[in-house]
Structure 1
Amino acid sequence: MALFQLAADSDTAADNATLREEKRRLRKVCHALMERVESGVSPNSAPYAAFERSVLLAEQVRERTDALHRTLDELSQVNARLLTANAEAEAANLSKTKFLAAVSHDLLQPLNAARLFASALETHALPDASQALVGHIGRSLKDVEGLLGTLVDISRLDAGVLHADKAPFAVSTLLDALAEEYHQVAAVRGLTLHYVPSSTLVESDLALLARVVRNFLSNAVRYTEHGHLLLGCRRRANGLEIMVGDTGPGIPEPQREAIFLEFRRANQAQSSHSRGLGLGLAIVDRISTMLDHPVMLTSQLGCGSIFSILVPYAPPNAGDSSATSPRAVLSHGELDPLQGCVVWVIDDDPAITEGMQALLGSWGCRVRAAATVSALEAASDGERPAVLLVDYHLGEHRESGIDLASRLRRRYPGLATVVITANHEAALKRAAREAGMHCLLKPLKPLRLKMLLGTLLQS
């Protein structure tokens, strides 16, 4: 037993010695490791420098990130201010455009009256010198009408208030009147106009299409110094091509696209005949796009140009919803239907009623003009009217010209009616057409009115 105890004590002592040795060795290793770590993080060592650079870079990144955020915030504020300023500018421009489009009635009223008086004066027997002065006044008023009409048209297009009102009609309804008008315009310039008539039925907006063809004719007259003009049609598989040709100088190839841009004009215009804003073909381009009628141009330098627009045919069995084509000239021996016919004119502008009385009276009509139906009937002595000419805008709190005419037509069945307005809205033209009335736009073209009256009185 004592022997076993001695052996056990001997083993315990050995284990304690081993543990002490292991402990000493571990302490030595830890000490060595601590010395190595401490020596490795000295300011001059590579790991410490890397750590210091990392801290410095992190700080720089943070500072630059903060600066970038501040810059982005400033840019966002500037962008917001720019967006606000741009919106205000667009709103101001749209407001201006809508204003000009809206006040076109007031702008055109005095011009319309002046044209009526000048046209009436041209029919009077005057000394040659006075007749020449009247001619100059008429041409100047036409120039003003053209410029103002162009500005109003471009404003309506910019404001988006001009819309198409497509309906079937005989193309002669449009071209006969334009041919008669430009026969006279061309003659003043010493040019001749060859017109090839057509009675083909097409579908388009009559007023807008007239604006396009009239621009073609005006440019042809403006840029042609001698020779002749051509107005006619050519049947195509997908529509009727309405063409205006001239014997002018032609248009160089590089200019053929540019002339359809705003404020661009061909270089060959002569100063004495080149009044204009360079907007005519820009308007043509916009209207043709609205109507979906392609416009084409062919030209040869020194030989002339042909502008044309392709208008779709009316659907099969579509009746002509407009008036029969106005006849420009009465047949030999045929009585003038305007002589002695009774025409009622209703307009709230005294200058317009006076001008219409002077113009229609010079054509031989018996005119009754007033602002109200009651005043007309009081002055008519029971005489039945043959034609009614009524302004669409009859002042605030009054019925429209279409409503008034409808009321009068119930009282006088079959009364031919022409609504006259400076409003180009498609809805108005459509309402007049659906009511069986004709619509003419201000400034009123006297020749167009005369031809329409002749047609209405002969139908």
Structure 2
Amino acid sequence: MDLFQLTTFNADAAEGAQPAENHDAADIAALREENRRLRKVCQALVERVETGGRSGGAPYAAFERSVLLAEQVRERTDTLHRTLDELGQANTRLSAAKAEAEAANLSKTKFLAAVSHDLLQPLNAARLFASALETHSLPDASQALVGHIGRSLKDVEGLLGTLVDISRLDAGVLQPDKAPFAVSTLLDALAEEYRQLAGVRGLALHYVASSAVVESDLALLARVIRNFLSNAVRYTERGRVLLGCRRRKRGLEIMVGDTGPGIPEQQRKAIFLEFRRANQPNSAHSRGLGLGLAIVDRISSMLEQPISLASRPGVGALFSIIVPYAEASSATSVAKIRYAPPLQAAEDLLHGCVVWVIDDDLAIIEGMQALLGSWGCRVRAAATVSALEAVSDGERPAVLLVDYHLGDHRETGIELAARLQRRYPGLAAVVITANHEAEIKRATREAGMHCLLKPLKPLRLRMLLGNLLTKP
């Protein structure tokens, strides 16, 4: 019996009871009125209790719902805890995998550094021997074979250099070493080199020189311009290639244009992606991995020097890069350096010049002797200074060419060159290395020396020697 029924029963009983003898009619009326009032109070209390749990439901139903919700919350909390535990375990496995990947990447970087040095050494020697052979008087058939060998070695050099560069860029170990330099020191050599390559393809190369002094990483900027020129010569079947500069407010715009087939609008972004090349099915000179412009794009971002492309299909293409000018003080000091005319002047200056070569690789020594000897130099080459001085006959060297890595537990090429410069004041030093790290280039520059990268480009070496020999 619920509260309402119990109260009603008691009230009805009170109404049906016979009044006691000592109760009069007024008392009975008062008692009935009180019972009615109590019924209303009880009714109101019952309604409040019934609706107090939740709207539209009884207290017990609300209680059941509360219990059910609490159970669902507990189950979901348990599920959340299990999920968090699984995520924690997954994060632990992911951290371990990331550490393994980073270790593998570091190992790959070290491997590539070792491979680049070990593979570039014999490749460098082969290039030296092939370049020396080209200067000899040979039968036409033999001369053609030597040319094929040189071009094949150049292709191998390009492919290997591309793979090493993209790996170094991915690993983040290739950092820029920006310094002021006269842009002519870079473009003059590239113009001479690619004028010959363009001539082989029946193309004319027009070069507009510039006296501007810019600030950039010379080796990385050379990589960009060289790629532009290589693509222009490779894809242009007839006409000409242009290498020149324009002075802009933001900096010097170095441009490479051609009269080739051009690049359609829909391909202009894709060619800067890895393993992508312009679709030129008629070109017989499209060897490559499709990584050149991808490397150019990354170098441009690293240097913070933007590149641009303008092209009209069937008319040609124009690639360019904006390089900032050097500060006024640096530009003035650099501009005072006199540069030798490209080829003939260098040949005259090199004839009879005493050049010392120090390298711990016998093949490199023999290759340098053959190349420099073909230019008329008096070459003295050995693996150590003592051995070099023993065969020098007391001659004073004018230029020193020294390898940076001279074997374990030995001084670096920079240290050795500095020691010889103290012994022979005025000795010009060139450090040659297969290591592209910015620290080596910076240390060489701060020591007042020049740095060339392997595989050595004979024309670049020839022009640098001519430049060094013209200095007062």
Residue pair 2:105, 2:171 contacting (<8 A) in 1 also? no
1:348 maps to which residue?
360
Is 1:338 aligned with 2:350?
yes
Is 1:135 aligned with 2:147?
yes
1:191 maps to which residue?
203
TM-score where L is the length of structure 1:
0.86
Instruction: Give 1:219 shift.
Output: 1.0
Q: Deviations over 1:146-185 (max 9, x none)?
A: 1111111122222222222222221111110000000111
Is 1:227 aligned with 2:239?
yes
Task: Return the letter of the residue paired with 1:97.
Answer: T
CA change 1:326–1:294 in 2 (3 A) is farther
Task: Return the letter of the residue paired with 2:359.
Answer: D
Distance 2:140 2:227 in 1: 32
| Aligned equivalent of 1:243, options 255, 273, 279 | 255
| Aligned equivalent of 1:114, options 120, 126, 134 | 126
1:328 maps to which residue?
342
Residue pair 1:98, 1:156 contacting (<8 A) in 2 also? no
Distance 2:59 2:217 in 1: 85
Residue pair 2:213, 2:335 contacting (<8 A) in 1 also? no
Distance 2:182 2:66 in 1: 86
Is 1:262 aligned with 2:300?
no
Residue pair 2:235, 2:283 contacting (<8 A) in 1 also? no
1:292 maps to which residue?
304
Is 1:93 aligned with 2:105?
yes
Distance 2:422 2:58 in 1: 108
Instruction: Give 1:356 shift.
Output: 0.5
Segments of structure 2 that go 5 or more residues without pairing to the other structure are: 1-21, 51-56
- SS of the residue 1:450 aligns to: helix
Say how many residue pairs are matched.
426
1:311 maps to which residue?
323
Q: Deviations over 1:305-354 (max 9, x none)?
A: 111111111211321189643422326xx971222221110001111001
- SS of the residue 1:152 aligns to: helix
Q: Tell me the percent identity.
A: 79
Distance 2:443 2:72 in 1: 73
CA change 1:407–1:182 in 2 (3 A) is same
CA change 1:194–1:335 in 2 (3 A) is closer
Residue pair 2:245, 2:254 contacting (<8 A) in 1 also? yes
Q: Deviations over 1:264-304 (max 9, x none)?
A: 21112645311111111111112122222121111111100
- SS of the residue 1:272 aligns to: coil
2:225 maps to which residue?
213
2:381 maps to which residue?
369
CA change 1:398–1:153 in 2 (3 A) is same
Residue pair 2:162, 2:291 contacting (<8 A) in 1 also? yes
CA change 1:240–1:265 in 2 (3 A) is same
1:274 maps to which residue?
286
Instruction: Give 1:65 shift.
Output: 2.9
CA change 1:429–1:71 in 2 (3 A) is closer
TM-score where L is the length of structure 2:
0.83
Residue pair 1:173, 1:323 contacting (<8 A) in 2 also? no
Distance 1:342 1:67 in 2: 82
Q: Deviations over 1:228-285 (max 9, x none)?
A: 1000111112211111000111111122222222222111264531111111111111
Instruction: Give 1:458 shift.
Output: 3.2
Instruction: Give 1:98 shift.
Output: 4.2
Task: Return the letter of the residue paired with 1:284.
Answer: V
Instruction: Give 1:89 shift.
Output: 2.3
| Aligned equivalent of 1:301, options 310, 313, 320 | 313
1:407 maps to which residue?
419
Task: Return the letter of the residue paired with 1:160.
Answer: G
Residue pair 1:370, 1:376 contacting (<8 A) in 2 also? yes
Task: Return the letter of the residue paired with 1:320.
Answer: V
Distance 2:468 2:282 in 1: 41
1:169 maps to which residue?
181
Task: Return the letter of the residue paired with 1:196.
Answer: V
Distance 2:427 2:253 in 1: 36
Task: Return the letter of the residue paired with 1:457.
Answer: L
Residue pair 1:97, 1:158 contacting (<8 A) in 2 also? no
| Aligned equivalent of 1:65, options 53, 66, 77 | 77
Distance 1:392 1:132 in 2: 34
Segments of structure 1 that go 5 or more residues without pairing to the other structure are: 1-12
- SS of the residue 2:319 aligns to: strand
Distance 1:67 1:152 in 2: 49
CA change 1:48–1:425 in 2 (3 A) is closer
Residue pair 2:401, 2:429 contacting (<8 A) in 1 also? yes
Q: Deviations over 1:179-210 (max 9, x none)?
A: 00001111111111011111221122211111
Task: Return the letter of the residue paired with 1:329.
Answer: L
* Runs of 4+, deviation exceeding 6 Å: none
Give the stretch that moved more between structures: 234-243 or 122-131. 122-131
Residue pair 2:359, 2:402 contacting (<8 A) in 1 also? yes
Task: Return the letter of the residue paired with 2:343.
Answer: V
Residue pair 2:189, 2:342 contacting (<8 A) in 1 also? yes
